[in-house]
Amino acid sequence: MDNDIKTMKFEAETKKLLDLMIHSLYSSKEIFLRELISNASDAHDRLHFEAITNEALKDAVEEPAIRLSVDKDKRILTISDNGIGMSKEEVQTNIGTIAKSGTKELFEKLKQSKVEELPTELIGEFGVGFYSAFMVANRVTLVTRRAGEQTATQWESKGDGTYSISDGERDAPGTTIALHLKPADADDGLDDFTEEWVLKRIVKQYSDFVRYPIILPVSREKEEDGKKVTEVEEETLNSMKAIWLRPEAEVKEEEHKEFYKHISHDWQEPLKHIAMKAEGRFEYQALLYIPSHAPFDMYYSTFKWGLQLYVKNVKILENAEDLLPPHLRFIKGVVDSPDLPLNVSRELLQHSRQITQIKKSLTKKVLDTLKYLKETDEEKYNGFYKEFGAVLKEGVSSDFENKDRITELLLFESSNDPEKLTSLADYVSRMKEDQEEIYYLTGESRQVIESSPHLEAFKERGLEVLYLTDPVDEFMMGTLTEYKEKKMRSVGKGDVELGTKDEKEQAQKELEDKSKQFSDFLKAVQKELDDHVSEVRLSKRLTESVSCLVGTEADLSPHIERLLSKNKVDVPAHKRIMEINPDHEIVQKLKARFDVRPTDLELADHAQLLYGQALLAEGSPLPDPATFATLVSKLFVRSL
Ligand code: ADP
């Protein structure tokens, strides 16, 4: 057989990751075993899946096992499975590269952190379980043969930037990974991984629930005919008990944490677990986990989500997306039902009444759990919301049935307290007696919104305004038009009517009177700005600033328009209304000047200055910054 040994370089990103891994001061180095066992367990699952649809593979399915073995003298620990295995190409793509979307972005994050301070969660986010082997080994050899293929592949690396790949030898499908262990060094988190008791402890701690036996040959001393003899016996180290089938009260929090890490490939602990059991005509058990942090690829179309679906403790699907709605795509977990057919397919799931029913119950349960968390542990809930609030918000527009439940879970920044997020219920409890609407303003950040002229009349009256800073907010508000029969009102759009009925009428009358006096002036200014604004009118919302721009209810906010055009989404051009403050000194002087000299050529410049100021105040760019700068310079000179 032609057996070229090829030496290949790791991709730059993989190499960097390896360096990080090897040099990291990560203290729980023993988790490498959890990661390798997890991969072996997945390999068994995959073989099982493929064998369902591929007759040819049926013969490859042996009694599944994950075997550990130790060569004490050579300090080699071997982990071997008889799962699906890998072809040569698969070894190259799966082990030689990190082929995950978003890797580049993640590396940007990594670049900012020093090797010594490598955040563990970042290692986990790559799903680079395999590389954790290099935390404990200075050489790793992998021999694998894919089920259905006759040839095996050997891969070897010292984690030094290159790896070699060649044909290997393996009698049956599966994967064997040999770790040439570094010397034990307790100070560095390196236990002696050739010790039976160390391996037993680690397996028990991290992998007890793995559904395949993890087997270790264990030596025992026996007395035979009065003589001591050492016998080697195979011992299964894990209980293999499905954690969701055990009584909830019996499962320790530690076990949940490890099970979560096993199914999610997340290295951090979950925020909370949710256990459910439905009995009666259609039975199922569910064990769900709310993660504590958002995966970096949650917004990528390639993001894999969904729950693991089991039928009678046999895994049927890895990512069943039909069990939860997309706005709960961050939830990890398992659903097991004895009442589903074993050969259930994705297509079947989509049309299954039972699955729809499970989805409905799980969704409600997750939302209720979040509500409970919000009511009982504000800090924890805020942590959750920071990570997943934006995803949850998608549900306001897409999940009609649970819209109210989700709305109760929303939190917003507000003018009330810069330190605290507020719920809509809390906002309503603080509303002024004569206040009928819930006010909000969308913008890029709290800082930008806070200095917006649109808020002036509201600040003056002590009216609370919600600050919506998430891009998704703008779209959500398209659906969230009211809360508890109170209309949601953008203070950046439409007309402003504040105060009691009498006050409103009074204000309206005053404005109409003034507008008459200002009529010619307003028309003249508008003529100068015809290319930019649809109307120039007097404002009820400004008390300090001279001008601002307002949209109609249907308009998108300017920062969203900018965001969309940055992402090359066509936004139809439309003009907004410019409001000017009739009580402002500038407006009064301009008007007085106009009354005397209606054909004043400088009005053109002044109109541009009013418009430019309005744009700058809301954080929008100027259409022609150079001309604006010249105008400001002209004014400057005059004032000196
Ligand atoms: P993850 O398991 O999170 O995808 P890893 O770095 O641990 O990341 O593994 C990368 C890939 O290598 C796996 O997704 C799988 O395709 C393959 N792999 C790793 N170990 C095995 C194994 N024991 N048997 C078959 N394939 C494996």
DSSP-derived secondary structure for 186-240: GGGTB--TTSHHHHHHHHHHHHTT-SS-EEEEEEEEEEETTEEEEEEEEEE----
Q: Which long-range contacts (CB under 8 A, 24 or more apart) does 446-453 make?
A: 446/413, 446/418, 448/559, 448/618, 448/619, 450/415, 451/617, 452/492, 452/548, 452/617, 452/618, 452/619, 453/541, 453/542, 453/544, 453/545, 453/547, 453/548, 453/614, 453/617, 453/618
Residue 311 lies in a domain: yes
- Whole-angstrom distance, CA of residue 500 vs CA of residue 235: 80
Residue 599 lies in a domain: yes
Q: Is the distance from the beta carbon of residue 43 to the nearest atom of ligand 1 less than 6 Å?
A: yes
Q: Atom 16 of ligand 1 has which residue's CA nearest to it?
A: 94
Question: What is the domain-level CATH number for residue 186?
Answer: 3.30.565.10
Q: Atom 27 of ligand 1 has which residue's CA nearest to it?
A: 39
Q: Which of 315, 343, 365 is the last residue of a domain?
A: 365
Instruction: Report residue 336's pLDDT band, with 50, 70 and 90 as the boundaries.
Output: very high
**Plot region of 175 (φ>0 → left; ψ -120 to 50 → alpha; else → beta):** beta
- Whole-angstrom distance, CA of residue 515 vs CA of residue 521: 9
Higher pLDDT, 141 or 116: 141
pLDDT of 405 reads 97
Average pLDDT, the chain: 89
pLDDT of 116 reads 47
Q: Is the distance from the beta carbon of residue 129 to the nearest atom of ligand 1 less than 6 Å?
A: yes
| C-alpha of residue 16 to centroid of ligand 1, in Å | 19
Q: What average pLDDT does this structure show over 3-12?
A: 79
Question: What is the domain-level CATH number for residue 596?
Answer: 1.20.120.790
Instruction: Report residue 353's pLDDT band, with 50, 70 and 90 as the boundaries.
Output: confident
pLDDT of 104 reads 60
Q: Are residues 184 and 56 in the same domain?
A: yes
pLDDT of 294 reads 92
Residue 584 lies in a domain: yes
Q: Is the pLDDT of residue 249 over 90?
A: yes
What burial class does residue 491 get, using C-beta atoms within 10 Å of its C-beta: 0-12 exposed, 13-18 middle, 19+ buried? buried
Q: 533-538 and 486-490 as β-strands: parallel, antiparallel, unpaired?
A: unpaired
Question: What is the domain-level CATH number for residue 300?
Answer: 3.30.230.80
- Whole-angstrom distance, CA of residue 268 vs CA of residue 258: 10
Q: Give how many domains the chain has, as a whole number.
A: 3
Question: Is residue 296 within 8 Å of residue 105, measured between CB atoms?
Answer: yes
Q: How far is CA 323 from the centre of its chain?
A: 19
pLDDT of 620 reads 87
Residue 397 lies in a domain: no
Q: Are residues 176 and 49 in the same domain?
A: yes
Q: 76-81 and 174-181 as β-strands: parallel, antiparallel, unpaired?
A: antiparallel
Nearest to 138 by CA among 83, 81, 194, 76: 76
| C-alpha of residue 200 to centroid of ligand 1, in Å | 23
pLDDT of 566 reads 76
Question: Domain of 276?
Answer: 250-365
Residue 413 lies in a domain: no
Instruction: Report residue 372's pLDDT band, with 50, 70 and 90 as the boundaries.
Output: very high
Q: Is the pLDDT of residue 189 over 50?
A: yes
Q: Atom 9 of ligand 1 has which residue's CA nearest to it?
A: 130
Q: Are residues 598 and 546 in the same domain?
A: yes
Q: What is the DSSP letter of 91?
A: I
Q: Is the distance from the beta carbon of residue 84 to the nearest atom of ligand 1 less than 6 Å?
A: yes
Sign, Cα dihedral of 513, 517, 520, 521: negative
Dihedrals φ, ψ of 225, to 5°? Answer: 50, 45
Q: pLDDT tens-digit profile of 604-616?
A: 999 999 999 999 9
Q: Atom 25 of ligand 1 has which residue's CA nearest to it?
A: 85
Q: Are residues 57 and 143 in the same domain?
A: yes
Lowest mean pLDDT among 347-351, 355-359, 589-593: 347-351
Instruction: Report residue 106's pLDDT band, with 50, 70 and 90 as the boundaries.
Output: low
pLDDT of 35 reads 87
Q: What average pLDDT does this structure show over 109-129?
A: 57
Q: Are residues 356 and 321 in the same domain?
A: yes
| C-alpha of residue 266 to centroid of ligand 1, in Å | 14
Q: pLDDT tens-digit profile of 23-47?
A: 765 667 888 998 899 999 999 988 9
Q: Is the distance from the beta carbon of residue 47 to the nearest atom of ligand 1 less than 6 Å?
A: no
pLDDT of 217 reads 95
Q: Is the distance from the beta carbon of residue 175 to the nearest atom of ligand 1 less than 6 Å?
A: yes
Q: Are residues 174 and 283 in the same domain?
A: no
Instruction: Report residue 228's pLDDT band, with 50, 70 and 90 as the boundaries.
Output: confident
- Whole-angstrom distance, CA of residue 213 vs CA of residue 426: 53
Q: Which of 343, 365, 387 is the last residue of a domain?
A: 365
Q: Is the distance from the beta carbon of residue 130 to the nearest atom of ligand 1 less than 6 Å?
A: yes
Q: 162-168 and 152-157 as β-strands: parallel, antiparallel, unpaired?
A: antiparallel
Residue 373 lies in a domain: no
Q: Are residues 82 and 214 in the same domain?
A: yes
| C-alpha of residue 427 to centroid of ligand 1, in Å | 49
Instruction: Report residue 225's pLDDT band, with 50, 70 and 90 as the boundaries.
Output: confident
Two tokens at 95? 């082990």
Q: pLDDT tens-digit profile of 525-575?
A: 999 999 999 999 999 999 999 999 998 877 887 877 777 777 777 777 788
Q: Are residues 225 and 148 in the same domain?
A: yes
Q: pLDDT tens-digit profile of 579-591?
A: 999 999 999 999 9
- Whole-angstrom distance, CA of residue 257 vs CA of residue 254: 5
Q: What average pLDDT does this structure show over 298-307?
A: 88
Q: Are residues 186 and 271 in the same domain?
A: no
Q: Is the distance from the beta carbon of residue 96 to the nearest atom of ligand 1 less than 6 Å?
A: no
pTM of the model: 0.79
% of the chain at pLDDT higher than 90: 62
DSSP-derived secondary structure for 449-470: HHT-GGGHHHHHTT--EEEE-S
pLDDT of 110 reads 61
Q: Atom 3 of ligand 1 has which residue's CA nearest to it?
A: 127
Residue 36 lies in a domain: yes
| C-alpha of residue 639 to centroid of ligand 1, in Å | 71
**Which residue in this structure is represented by tokens 């010594």?**
116
Q: Which of 206, 236, 266 is the last residue of a domain?
A: 236
Sign, Cα dihedral of 5, 9, 15, 19: positive
Q: What average pLDDT does this structure show over 5-28?
A: 73
Q: Are residues 143 and 222 in the same domain?
A: yes
% of the chain at pLDDT higher than 70: 92
pLDDT of 334 reads 96
Q: Atom 18 of ligand 1 has which residue's CA nearest to it?
A: 39
Which among 42, 79, 131, 144 is the best mutation to test ligand 1's pocket, defined by most ligand atoms within 8 Å of the CB? 42
Residue 190 lies in a domain: yes
Q: Is the pLDDT of residue 99 over 80?
A: no
pLDDT of 97 reads 66
Q: Is the pLDDT of residue 270 over 90?
A: yes
Q: pLDDT tens-digit profile of 378-421?
A: 999 999 999 999 999 999 999 999 999 999 999 999 999 999 99
Helix intervals (H) in 324-352: 346-350
pLDDT of 499 reads 84
Question: Is residue 265 within 8 Å of residue 38, measured between CB atoms?
Answer: yes
Q: Atom 17 of ligand 1 has which residue's CA nearest to it?
A: 94
Q: Are residues 227 and 261 in the same domain?
A: no
Nearest to 65 by CA among 219, 231, 238, 194: 238
Q: Are residues 228 and 295 in the same domain?
A: no
pLDDT of 129 reads 76
Q: In Å, what is the CA distance from 529 to each residue of 455, 520, 551?
A: 24, 14, 16
